[in-house]
Amino acid sequence: METDCESDFFSQDETDDENEYYDSKDFVYEEEQPNDRYYCPQPLVPEGVENNISGALQFAENFFLRYGNVVPNFYIGSLKDAIDEVFIETDDVKLKPLIIYLHHDKSVCSNVFCSQVLCSELVVAVLNRNFVIWGWDMTTKSNRSRLLETMECYLNASCLQHLNRVMKSSVDHFPLMLFVTRDHRTGDTVLDLIVGNCSQEEAMTKLVDCLR
């Protein structure tokens, strides 16, 4: 059943060759217009952060300070480390799906989504028990560029195409939660995504479906 937050990004015809290499110049981001109606706090990942590991740590710490005690256990480490943890099998570790959480403070949906959906006790319990979740702040141009360059190195063109579709449309699709899996034949695949206007019920449905 299609929900209010159901994205049409997965139903669009693929006009590009999925094996084509994508780099950061392929991403077109909607230009941000000044908007005094919405208060924009300091970014969760400060500009000029030393590296992705430091950025992920500051993201987790600042997210906790902003949204309270009931928050997801964001992975502390680089995106590469998070990918290795969920995609490299070992005999004694059960693999969990990877969620890449992308925040944007200039989206009108950010505060409501974080406080009422992402940080609800039910959603947090499911995330912490069943997923590895890695977070990044896309609010500033420098942090967007850093993440896109990183994703080019460790995720394939199919994943980047899905992200590009969102970024071509509107900043108000953020926050985003991308469910990423790896298939031995097709490589990295975005199974689904949650966009910023999802309700708690809709988000829970997608989380449960991803685990089936």
pLDDT in tens, 123-135: 999 999 999 999 9
- Distance between CA atoms of 114 and 12, rounded to whole angstroms? 28
For residue 16, what are the contacts with CB-CB under 8 A and spacing of at least 6? 157, 161
Least confident of 109-113, 118-122, 139-143, 182-186: 182-186
Read off the pLDDT band of 110 (50, 70, 90).
very high
On whether residue 173 sits in a domain, the answer given is yes
Read off the pLDDT band of 75 (50, 70, 90).
very high
On whether residue 134 sits in a domain, the answer given is yes
Could you give the number of structural domains in the chain? Answer: 1
For the beta carbon of residue 110, count every other beta carbon within 10 angstroms. Answer: 22
On whether residue 106 sits in a domain, the answer given is yes
DSSP secondary structure letters along 87-144: HS-BTTB----EEEEEE-TTSTTHHHIIIIIITSHHHHHHHHHH-EEEEEE-SSHHHH
User: pLDDT of 153-191, one tens digit each?
Assistant: 877 777 777 777 776 778 888 999 988 876 655 555 666
Read off the pLDDT band of 149 (50, 70, 90).
confident
Retrieve residue 147's tokens.
Answer: 């993440």
Question: Do the beta carbons of residue 22 and residue 158 sit within 8 Å?
Answer: no
On whether residue 73 sits in a domain, the answer given is yes
pLDDT of residue 176: 92
Least confident of 49-63, 77-91, 158-172: 158-172
158 residue type, one letter: S
On whether residue 34 sits in a domain, the answer given is no
- Distance between CA atoms of 140 and 153, rounded to whole angstroms? 21
pLDDT of residue 152: 83
Q: What is the mean pLDDT of the chain?
A: 79
What average pLDDT score do residues 93-112 get? 88
DSSP secondary structure letters along 153-191: HHS-HHHHHHHHHHHHH-GGG-SEEEEEEEETTTEEEEE
Closest by Cα among 86, 191, 82, 79 to 136: 79
On whether residue 156 sits in a domain, the answer given is yes
On whether residue 144 sits in a domain, the answer given is yes
CATH of the domain at 74: 3.40.30.10
Question: Do the beta carbons of residue 176 and residue 194 sit within 8 Å?
Answer: yes
Return the exposure string of 149-174: e unless at least 16 CB atoms fall within 10 Å of the residue's CB, then b. Answer: ebbbebbbbbbbbbbbbbbeeebebb
Write out the residue range of the structural domain in which residue 90 sits.
42-211
On whether residue 12 sits in a domain, the answer given is no
Angle (nearest 5°) at CA 126 between 156 and 172? 55
For residue 85, what are the contacts with CB-CB under 8 A and spacing of at least 6? 75, 77, 132
User: pLDDT of 17-29, one tens digit each?
Assistant: 443 333 444 444 4
Is residue 74 predicted with pLDDT exceeding 80?
yes
